[in-house]
């Protein structure tokens, strides 16, 4: 077992999947307006599972 | 020569190019930036690729659909440009069957998460028990504390069912979109990145239901899952045509590992850093076996 490692604070270290991990997913994301990956995660956090009218 | 293609802002590609140079691997980047891009001509149907006027004959290709440019610039044209370059490279792969292409069989195909879970179950993996539904009336009548809701498409967060229901009109019986309603699973979450026949497993300790909501959640490298799980994960990757992918797993009430999803274009640079670049090296080993 490796020693516990805190995620790097470097801006381009990605360990999460809140950015699309499937080719093609991005086609449907042009309405999301993030400026940084962190903002993108917030955008995703506010996305409604059951959609919106 | 191996060709690495995608967005200039994609750190997975740029670190691979740096590592290739350090290892003496002849690698060429086809990187599309926010303001600059190369000149490409692809012969159809001969498949001859010219990049900045030079005919390229790579032995291997790794192409990633660029999602980073659109994160930095929200204009629809930017996302469309990324997709156009991806389509061109997928076309190159199709016209050159003799070139080793990472995830070749999966290029240009979107993964349907419902289908992928069905395939995983047939291969012996546990998957979350649940339904796909927009039936708010039936969902409200269920034991909401034990259930979660999750969008059908990639990128969305998994949330408690009661939170998802609270977002909808109280008097509505049917939601605008169907979503997964699944049994709630337990952490810590395992992230298993598969590269060829190698696995890199990390455990993520998050306080929240979906660790993506807390990007700074600590993680550590752990032993790979037992063969009873790892074997079917490799089988699933193979069935989906993936040499590079990443599986997310949690535990059910019985303590068994359950596959949440398999990601076809994984983000892994933080994990790669934590294992001294071993994931990038494994990818380069696949692309350039003689290196």
Q: Which residue has the higher pLDDT, B217 or B246?
A: B246
Query: What one-character-per-residue DSSP string does A2-51 give?
Result: PPPBPPP--TT----SSS--STTGGGG-TT---SSHHHHHHHHHT--TT-
Interatomic CA distance for residues B4 and B102, integer angstroms:
10
Q: Beta partners for B14? A: none
Kindly identify which residue of chain A lies nearest to residue B192, measuring between CA atoms: A15
Chain A residue with minimum CA distance to B108: A23
A15-29, B135-149, B194-208, B247-261: range with lowest mean pLDDT: A15-29
Q: What is the ipTM of this complex?
A: 0.76
Residues of A in contact with B71 (CB under 8 A): 19, 34-37, 40
* A–B CB contacts, 8 A cutoff, strictly below: 188
Q: Is B235 on the interface with A (CB under 8 A)?
A: no
Cβ within 8 Å of A, B 23-62: none
pLDDT the model gives residue A20: 61
Query: Among all chains, which residue has been given the structure tokens 């670049």?
Result: B277
Rounded to a whole number of angstroms, the distance from the CA of B13 to the nearest CA of chain A is 12
**pLDDT at residue B115 above 60?**
yes
Indicate whether B95 pLDDT > 80: yes
CA-atom Rg of chain B in angstroms: 21
pLDDT of residue B144: 85
Instruction: Say if CB B174 and CB B136 are below 8 A apart.
Output: yes
Q: Give residue-wise pLDDT tens across range B143-156.
A: 888 999 998 876 67
- Residues B249 and A39: their CA atoms lie apart, in Å, by 25
Chain B contact for A11 (CB, 8 A cutoff): no
Instruction: Confirm whether pTM is higher than 0.90.
Output: no
CA distance B208 to B216: 12
């Amino acid at each position: 077992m490796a020693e516990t490692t805190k995620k790097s604070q470097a801006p381009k270290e990605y360990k999460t999947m809140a950015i699309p991990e499937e080719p093609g997913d991005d086609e449907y994301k042009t309405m999301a307006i993030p400026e940084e990956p962190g903002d993108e995660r917030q955008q995703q956090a506010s996305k409604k599972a059951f959609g919106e009218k | 020569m191996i060709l690495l293609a995608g967005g200039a802002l994609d750190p997975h590609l740029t670190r691979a190019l740096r590592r290739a140079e350090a290892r003496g691997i002849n690698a060429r980047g086809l990187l599309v930036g926010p303001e600059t891009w190369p000149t490409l001509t692809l012969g159809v149907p001969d498949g001859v690729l010219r990049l900045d006027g030079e005919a390229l004959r790579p032995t291997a290709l790794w192409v990633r659909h660029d999602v980073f440019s659109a994160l930095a610039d929200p204009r629809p044209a930017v996302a469309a440009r990324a997709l156009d370059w991806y389509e061109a490279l997928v076309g190159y792969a199709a016209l050159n069957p003799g070139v080793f292409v990472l995830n070749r069989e999966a290029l240009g195909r979107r993964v349907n998460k419902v289908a992928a879970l069905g395939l995983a179950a047939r291969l012996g993996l546990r998957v979350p028990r649940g339904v796909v539904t927009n039936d708010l009336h039936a969902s409200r009548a269920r034991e909401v504390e034990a259930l979660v809701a999750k969008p059908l498409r990639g990128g969305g967060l998994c949330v408690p069912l009661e939170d998802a229901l609270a977002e909808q009109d109280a008097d509505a019986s049917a939601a605008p979109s169907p979503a997964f309603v699944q049994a709630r699973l337990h952490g810590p979450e395992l992230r298993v990145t598969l590269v060829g026949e190698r696995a890199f497993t990390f455990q993520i300790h998050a306080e929240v239901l979906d660790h993506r909501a807390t990007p700074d959640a600590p993680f550590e490298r752990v032993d790979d899952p037992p063969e009873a799980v790892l074997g079917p994960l490799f089988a699933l990757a193979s069935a989906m045509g993936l040499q590079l992918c990443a599986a997310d797993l949690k535990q059910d009430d019985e303590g068994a590992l359950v596959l949440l999803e398999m990601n076809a274009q994984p983000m892994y640079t933080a994990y790669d850093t934590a294992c001294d670049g071993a994931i990038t090296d494994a990818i380069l080993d696949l692309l350039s076996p003689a290196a």
